[in-house]
Structures are given as C-alpha cells and as structure tokens.
Structure 1
Amino acid sequence: MSGAVRDAVPLVRDVLAEAGPAYRPFGRAELIDAVVRGVPGTRAGGPPFLRMETAERPGPAVGVERDAVPLFERHFPESYAQPGRPGVRRWAGVYGGGGRALLAVAADAWSAVGCGFVAGVLTAPGARGLGLGAAVSRFVGDALVRDFGRVALMVDAAGAAAVAAYERVGMRGVRSGPPRSVEYAYLSGGG
C-alpha cells in the first residue's frame, strides 16, 4: 500500500473486516508502522524486507544466457534465437555435472500481445534423449501461457525427436509452408 496515513488506516480497517486476519498489507515501513499504531488488533510481523528495483539495463549477460553462448556456437550456430540477439528476452536452462554444465536451454523470444514464443531450444549432444529439452520448453511455455494466454514455436517438421518432445509438452502442430519443412506449434491456456 502507499499513500497518506489518514487514508491507509480506514482502508486497512475496512479490508481487515472483509478479508479477515490473514490479510497482510505491504508497504513502506513507516506507513506500516503508522497503520499498526492506528488500527487496533494489528501488529507488525516478521523481519522487514526490501523491495528492489532499477531502471538500468542489467549489463553483460550472466547465468544461463552467458553459458548458452558456447553451446550455440558449437551446436546450433544457425539458430535465430541466440543470446544477445534482438527480440530474445529471457532464458531458462537445465544444468548438470554438479551445476557446472549447461545441458539444455530455451528462450522467450519475439513474444507479442496474445502469444508467447519459445525459441532457441537446444540440448547439448551428450544430454539428448533425457527429456531435458522438453522440460525446459515446458518451463518456458508455462510462463508464457501465464503471461500471454498461449505459446507457440517453430520446429523443423522432419525433426521427429523435437516434434515428439513438443507434443509431450502439449503442443499441437499446424503444417506450414517454406522455408524447408518448418511446422508451427502452439499451446493454448488451459491445456
């Protein structure tokens, strides 16, 4: 919550009357302290926490995005979705080998109103067949369905293993024309 104490105190009283004691307002520490003093039966609870923010870009790639660079250079240099390319927003990955080796990645790339887009799905050759590509695609796809209502991706229709992995995630394919034998797959919210 934010605003003036004179407005927050009656608001919290009304909300507590309706929502019950499980309601926990959050706000600046000074405002919470004033509300606790002004609303009988309330108390400050737990240790304080920080809300952190910035308007600055995060700088050089870190974590999964950084670790994906050599994976793409060696095993999928023709991918449109690669770390640092325009439109590629965020990455998810699966690590193995004691957390040192990036085994599979997928990105949120070129998502738009009404449809998230999974791209840059890559599994290291030694980790293929373990379901890691499907797992990371499911993770990214789930987030994109929550954010956009549905999710889509493009896959080479001749890549039977990739098509099967995406089908296990719940994607359904729609045949598309050139280039090559690309297939468009999508998953709507709710399955």
Structure 2
Amino acid sequence: MRELVSEAEVVAASGDDDLVVWAAQGMRPGVRAWAYGDAVAVASPEAARRDRLAVRGEAARVVPLLRHALAEAGPSYRPFGDAALIEQVVEAVPELELAGRFSWMGTEKLAPPRERAAGRERPPAWLADSAAGEVADLLAAASPGSYAVPGLPRVHRWAGVRDGSGALLAVAADAWPAPTVGLLAGVATASPARGRGLGERVCRFVASALLAEHGRVALMVDDWNAAAVVVYERLGFARRRVAAAGPRA
C-alpha cells in the first residue's frame, strides 16, 4: 500500500473519478489518501460536515485498503462510494454496517434551459453576507436537514431568487469545492413558492458559476427526494447511486 501525497497522484490513481477527487479537496491540510493496486481511499475531514472516507476499486483490494485507512485516519471516518462496492465492504468487514444510501450527481455541461413564462421574481444572484440570517431562516423552514448553512467553514457563498418585494424565495450554495469539482449544496425553496421552477433557476445559476471555475460540478441528494432528482437530471446531472457505511451499533 502506498500513500498518495498530491492531488495529481489521487487523480491518476482514481482515473480522475469525480467523487474521489472531490473528497481529496485539493489535498488540503488534514486530507490523506492511499492506493493499493486499483483501489483508492481518501480520508477527508469535515467534507460536507462528515469525516468521509471515499473508496473506489475492486472489493478484494478495497477491503484491506479500507482497514489500513481506518487504522491511520481513525474511527470517525465513514466509508462511502458506489453502492454495490459499499455493500460488498460491509459483508466483508463485520465492524461496519450500511449507514445510508443516496445519490452522487455530476456534470461537465448543463442541459439547455427550458422556456418558461416570465414571472415576477428577480433573476438569481449572489447574496450579500448580510443575507445570512434570511438564508438560515429559509433553510430552517424548508430544508432543516441541509448540510450547508451560513457561517460553516468552506461554505463559500449563497445565491438566491427574490420576489419583487425582495423576499427570499429560493437558495443554493457553493460549498466544499475541490479545485476541479465544485459542489452545489444547500438547495431550498420556500414552501409557498414551490412549483414555479425557482429551485431549478438558482441551481442553474450556481452550477454555471461552478462549471466556469472548476470544470465539473456535483451534488449529493437523498434517494427519497425524487422531485429534486428530476430537477437535477433536467439540468444535465447524471445520477450515481452511492452508499455510506459506519461502525456497527
């Protein structure tokens, strides 16, 4: 097993897998990575509010690599990767159990926008820092489980859609980006404004900016949130089923 010490090494070892490269976070301080044959593991502290251990490769090599990575990084790290791989991992590692399923979605190019009737809302725009309280209130009401909230480290900026009077109707964040993979997070629309395509508009605005800056953009979405998945697929994001494991209770 060998330790990877640069982003370039992670890119080469993983075949430029966007999930693994995102987890590496440009190999910022605290991130560690290892390879064993075709298997790669990246331990990324506080990546989207979790100590995440992204894994990729064949289970026969991922399992011993995962044990090594957990011994080096510590038990707080939750393995995550393609759902089929994580299922094999938990079968082979009795100390772990399946902790959740969700989807990783990414794209290098957005689909063309749909034609929509003009509304009274203002166009999406980046919000001033002074809007943090408004964003927090909207998230508390519309998406209380959001990983991204104002004030967290590496949650860089928020975009929003306002109505004609200035009330905030929908938001999305640029959060936890890697140099070549931006992350869209914190998406929420106020309940009375749903069904008007505002979430899609603010996501397109943020995703366009992240594509221009990073070349790729990704997001994480719960599998039960079918309406959100439809919006992201309409924007051009491709869905990848992933799962996470944690210590067995």
For the residue of structure 1 that corresponds to 2:243, the secondary structure is coil
Deviates more, 1:73-82 or 1:142-151: 73-82
Q: Partner letter of residue 173 of structure 2?
A: A
* Structure 2 residue 242 is matched with structure 1 residue 176: yes
Displacement after TM superposition at 1:74 (Å): 2.1
* Structure 2 residue 204 is matched with structure 1 residue 138: yes
Match of 1:159 in 2: 225
CA distance in 2, matches of 1:153, 1:177: 14
Q: 1:43-70: CA deviations, max 9, x gaps? A: xxxxxxxxxxxxxxxxx9313x332111
Displacement after TM superposition at 1:145 (Å): 0.4
TM-score w.r.t. structure 2 length? 0.45
* Structure 2 residue 166 is matched with structure 1 residue 93: no
CA distance in 1, matches of 2:220, 2:157: 18
For the residue of structure 2 that corresponds to 1:111, the secondary structure is coil
Higher Cα radius of gyration? 1
Residue 128 (structure 1) aligned to one of 194, 199, 202? 194
CA distance in 2, matches of 1:99, 1:112: 36
For the residue of structure 2 that corresponds to 1:85, the secondary structure is coil
For the residue of structure 1 that corresponds to 2:178, the secondary structure is coil
For the residue of structure 1 that corresponds to 2:217, the secondary structure is strand
Structure 1 segments of 4 or more deviating over 3 A? none
User: 2:141 touches 2:190 (CA, 8 Å); kept in 1?
Assistant: no
* Structure 1 runs not aligned, ≥5 long: 1-59, 180-191
CA distance in 1, matches of 2:129, 2:170: 17
| Corresponding residue pairs, total | 118
Q: Partner letter of residue 88 of structure 1?
A: V
CA distance in 2, matches of 1:118, 1:100: 24
Match of 2:216 in 1: 150
Q: Partner letter of residue 236 of structure 2?
A: G
Q: Partner letter of residue 230 of structure 2?
A: A
With a CA cutoff of 8 Å and minimum separation of 6, indicate the structure with the bigger relative contact order.
2
For the residue of structure 1 that corresponds to 2:221, the secondary structure is strand
CA distance in 1, matches of 2:165, 2:178: 32
* Structure 2 residue 139 is matched with structure 1 residue 72: yes
Displacement after TM superposition at 1:95 (Å): 0.5
For the residue of structure 2 that corresponds to 1:84, the secondary structure is coil
Q: Partner letter of residue 131 of structure 1?
A: G
Match of 2:169 in 1: 103
Q: Which has the larger share of strand?
A: 2
Q: 1:137-172: CA deviations, max 9, x gaps? A: 010000000000000000112211100011111111
Residue 130 (structure 2) aligned to one of 43, 62, 81? 62
Q: Partner letter of residue 144 of structure 1?
A: L
Q: Partner letter of residue 83 of structure 1?
A: P
Displacement after TM superposition at 1:105 (Å): 0.3
* Structure 2 runs not aligned, ≥5 long: 1-127
Backbone CA RMSD of aligned residues: 1.6
CA distance in 2, matches of 1:133, 1:124: 9
User: 2:184 touches 2:218 (CA, 8 Å); kept in 1?
Assistant: yes
Percent identity over paired residues: 52
For the residue of structure 1 that corresponds to 2:244, the secondary structure is coil
CA distance in 1, matches of 2:142, 2:190: 7
